[in-house]
């Protein structure tokens, strides 16, 4: 349980961390957020997360009333107040309280809160044996309506897909574009391994530009593994040698089965295993120090 929540410049106990019912983050999902990890007293890829937060805010015309440096300090201060070495950070900026209409200009002060809590991980079994996935019938939002590369508070699209996975009794599901291309999962990016190369869909097909995915791409370059960023359909997933998902909370998680089809010959496959090992090393040895 978190000890202190950052709320609009103050550190308050969780029971005092309350936002207005007129907040447009609550009324309309009008806001942006980030999920960030602390490993071993260091915040992993903090700059990248802040960059994505400010880009998302800019895309929805939301001016964050803190500079990036001030926001970075607010994050570090909140981790320190909670005295955790390993944690999950949820950083949220909403349009703020307004009236009951849509008009965001009525919201004069964005709400900023930061929650730092112990991370609840996927069960170890998922990493050892792999996940089962389904293909969701809910398609990923089209960029022409709400660009999935904006990490907004409006997650209903993903939640509807998540409900399908719950009904199917599996932990994650693949979301397709309206054209039938693989985009991502409800809260993770997807990679397939084919002929010792890794393939992941481009952000332009309708995905969130994942920071874990970017880390994997950088690691692949270091490891001499070719990366292809290109659109593909479910056939490529079904016939892949390996499939894995990436996300801040999930890290790198192997996939054993998709829509009842077994993936590859072993789970995790050798390439996925290499990424899991390298990722563990890099998360434990890099990042912005919290306590120095």
**Contacting residues toward ligand PMP, per CB under 6 A:** 35, 158, 184, 187-189, 208, 210-213, 246-248
Nearest to 140 by CA among 200, 238, 207: 207
Contact 155, 29 (CB under 8 A): yes
Nearest residue (CB) to ligand PMP, 213 versus 253: 213
Closest CB to ligand PMP among 19 and 249? 249
- Nearer residue to ligand PMP within complex by CB, 22 or 155: 155
CB of 212 to ligand PMP, least distance (A): 3
CB of 265 to ligand PMP, least distance (A): 27
Alpha helices by DSSP H, listed for the chain, are 24-28, 46-59, 68-82, 124-129, 156-168, 211-223, 234-238, 270-285
Residue 253: its H or E element:
strand 251-258
* 3-state SS class at 262: strand
Nearer to ligand PMP, 11 or 213 (CB): 213
Output the smallest distance, CB 248 to ligand PMP, in A: 3
- Closest approach of Cβ 18 to ligand PMP, in Å? 25
Q: Whose Cβ is closer to ligand PMP: residue 45's or residue 95's?
A: 45
Strand partners, 227: 198
- Shortest gap between Cβ of 251 and ligand PMP (angstroms)? 9
In 10 A of CB 98, how many CB atoms? 21
SS3 74: helix
122, 253 Cβ separation under 8 angstroms:
yes
Per the annotation, the verdict on 151 as an active-site residue is yes
Q: How far apart, in Å, are the Cα atoms of 120 and each of 37, 44, 146, 173, 284? A: 11, 17, 29, 20, 18
Catalytic-role residue among 18, 106, 109, 151: 151
What DSSP letter does each residue of 95-111 carry, written as one string? --B--SSS-GGG--S-E
Residues belonging to the active site: 151
């Amino acid at each position: 349980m978190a000890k202190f929540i950052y709320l609009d410049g103050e550190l308050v106990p969780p029971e005092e961390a309350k936002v207005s019912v007129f907040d447009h983050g609550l009324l309309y999902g009008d806001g942006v957020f980030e999920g960030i990890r602390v490993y071993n007293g260091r915040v992993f890829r903090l700059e990248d997360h802040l960059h994505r937060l400010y880009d998302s805010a800019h895309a929805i015309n939301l001016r964050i009333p803190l500079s990036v440096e001030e926001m970075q300090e607010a994050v570090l201060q909140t981790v320190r107040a909670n005295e955790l070495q390993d944690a999950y950070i949820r950083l949220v900026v909403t349009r703020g309280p307004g009236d009951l209409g849509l008009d965001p200009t009525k919201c004069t002060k964005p709400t900023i809160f930061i929650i730092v809590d112990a991370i609840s991980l996927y069960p170890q079994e998922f990493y050892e044996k792999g996940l089962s996935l389904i293909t969701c019938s809910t398609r990923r939002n089209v960029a022409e309506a709400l660009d999935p590369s904006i990490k907004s508070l409006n997650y209903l699209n993903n939640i509807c897909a998540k409900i399908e996975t719950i009904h199917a009794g599996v932990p994650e599901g693949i979301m397709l574009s309206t054209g039938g291309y693989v985009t991502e999962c409800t809260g993770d990016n997807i990679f397939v391994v084919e002929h010792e190369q890794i393939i992941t869909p481009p952000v332009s097909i309708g995905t969130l530009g994942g920071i874990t995915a970017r880390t994997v791409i950088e690691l692949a370059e270091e490891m001499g593994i070719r990366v292809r960023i290109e659109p593909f359909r479910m056939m490529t997933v079904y016939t892949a040698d390996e499939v894995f998902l990436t996300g801040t909370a999930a890290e790198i998680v192997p996939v054993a089965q998709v829509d009842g089809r077994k993936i590859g010959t072993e789970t995790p496959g050798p390439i996925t295993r290499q990424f899991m090992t390298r990722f563990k090393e890099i998360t434990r040895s890099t990042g912005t120090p919290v306590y120095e």
